[in-house]
Amino acid sequence: MTKKLFFKNVYLKEFTANIISKEEIEGEFHIVLDQTAFYPEGGGQPCDTGTIDSLKVCYVYEKDNKIYHIVDKKPTKLNNVKCTIDWEKRFDHMQQHLGQHILSACFEELFDAETVGFHLGTAFVTIDVTLSDLSNDQAQKVEYLANQVVFNNLRVNQLYPNPSKLSELPLRKPPKVDKNIRIIEIDQFDFSPCGGTHPSYTGEVGLIKIRKWEKIRNNIRIEFVCGNRALKDFTWKNDYIYKIANLLSIKDLDVLNGIEKIYSNYHSQQKEIKKLKEQLLNYEAFALYQEADIHKEIKIIYKIYDNRDFNELRTLATKIISKPNAIVLFGARNKKAQMILSSSKQIEINMNEIFKKVCIIFNGKGGGNNHNAQGGGDNLSKLEDALKEAKNIIINQYI
Ligand SMILES: [Zn+2]
């Protein structure tokens, strides 16, 4: 059984120990020490990392009361090895972990909501609470209470009660183990069975900040950050607000109003642009119709465009053929060669048939009906020949 130094002194960063076993598994070494301050992954808390002598500890786990430290190289020295824990990481885990106890206790205290899930990730922490909904106001209330627990700097005790004492404690949740039950008490406020590492006073958790929440199945998942993570989160958000305020030349408190104004202006401008584009196309359709070549009273509008939106051309063609006696032959050299052949309803013609005849010239595909056919192909250099051929067929065979 490995002696767990982190339960005796949670602030222990360096210690010496003896390696009592080392097993090679797939090129890595699983080391057991006689005593350790490395916390093994468990109870929702990630494991510690650090060094054993000069060997890097990348993962720590517990199995059959032994704690295994995975290192990448074979240890040479076995006795009195110097071990160091990556303290920044561990302290972060302690802040987030106790923050979770506090927040969960506050959800229970205020809304009778149980915590049924906990995840301590590398960036954020989440808990799942048994609520069907959470309002902004409720979230602020729970956050406020949680931070008062922090500011009151309550003592955090670890208790190992005997069964009769245990039954008297107002536990927030039942223990998962039946032996050596360890209770984390936040000074009369919360009693929770837990095997993780926690600071000795709530003040060390620092700010507890709820970032957001969402409905997951029948519960609400709360994402939050504590301590240094909260500081980091505040830092970038402050930076962003400052930069946005500068960009808009307004005060930071007015940022939301400013953005809402811009957004609403943007929408009305988009509407205006759409209206103007429509007007412009109407003028263009009118001009093309007026200037078209006339063959036996039929106006033939023949034109090839470079880099012009095909949907826009389609709209333009539709506007032209809504007028009487018009035939539209449009080509577009975009990423591929595109063609539209359209005619007014009164003209007896089969545009689909004509399109099928000429599309092979530019390696095109497509089709349509008597008054409308369109499609695209990959031979851009032959588009003009194909469109000319369509015009010849129409003049020689249909008009
Ligand atoms: Zn805990």
CA of 67 to the centre of ligand 1 (A): 19
- As for how many domains the chain has, the answer is 3
Whether 109 and 238 map to the same domain: the answer is yes
Looking at 53, 70, 85, the residue that finishes a domain is 85
- Dump pLDDT digits (tens) for 73-118: 999 999 999 999 999 999 999 999 999 999 999 999 999 999 999 9
Looking at 85, 107, 141, the residue that finishes a domain is 85
Does 22 map to a domain?
yes
Q: Which DSSP category does 371 fall into?
A: S
- 3-state class of 172 per DSSP? coil
Whether 374 and 291 map to the same domain: the answer is yes
Does 261 map to a domain?
no
Whether 65 and 109 map to the same domain: the answer is no
CA of 164 to the centre of ligand 1 (A): 22
Confidence of residue 184 (pLDDT cuts 50, 70, 90): very high
What lies within 8 Å, CB to CB, of 223 at 6+ separation is: 124, 125, 126, 210, 211, 212, 213
Does 269 map to a domain?
no
CATH of the domain at 299: 3.10.310.40
Q: Which domain holds residue 24?
A: 3-85
Whether 73 and 138 map to the same domain: the answer is no
Does 131 map to a domain?
yes
Does 257 map to a domain?
no
Summarize the confidence of residues 316-325 as an average pLDDT. 97
CA of 69 to the centre of ligand 1 (A): 22
What lies within 8 Å, CB to CB, of 358 at 6+ separation is: 339, 386, 387, 389, 390, 393
Looking at 187, 222, 244, the residue that finishes a domain is 244
CATH of the domain at 65: 2.40.30.130
Unique residue bearing structure tokens 């006073």: 201
- Dump pLDDT digits (tens) for 274-294: 999 999 999 999 999 999 999
CA of 249 to the centre of ligand 1 (A): 46
CA of 98 to the centre of ligand 1 (A): 6
Whether 50 and 129 map to the same domain: the answer is no
CATH of the domain at 98: 3.30.980.10
Q: Which of 226, 222, 159, 223 is nearest to 186 (CA)?
A: 159
Q: Which of 3, 5, 6, 11 is nearest to 200 (CA)?
A: 11
CA of 360 to the centre of ligand 1 (A): 73
- Dump pLDDT digits (tens) for 202-238: 999 999 999 999 999 999 999 999 999 999 999 999 9
Whether 64 and 34 map to the same domain: the answer is yes
Transcribe 198-241 into DSSP letters: --SBGGGG--EEEEEEEEETTEEEEEEEEHHHHHHHHHHHHHHH
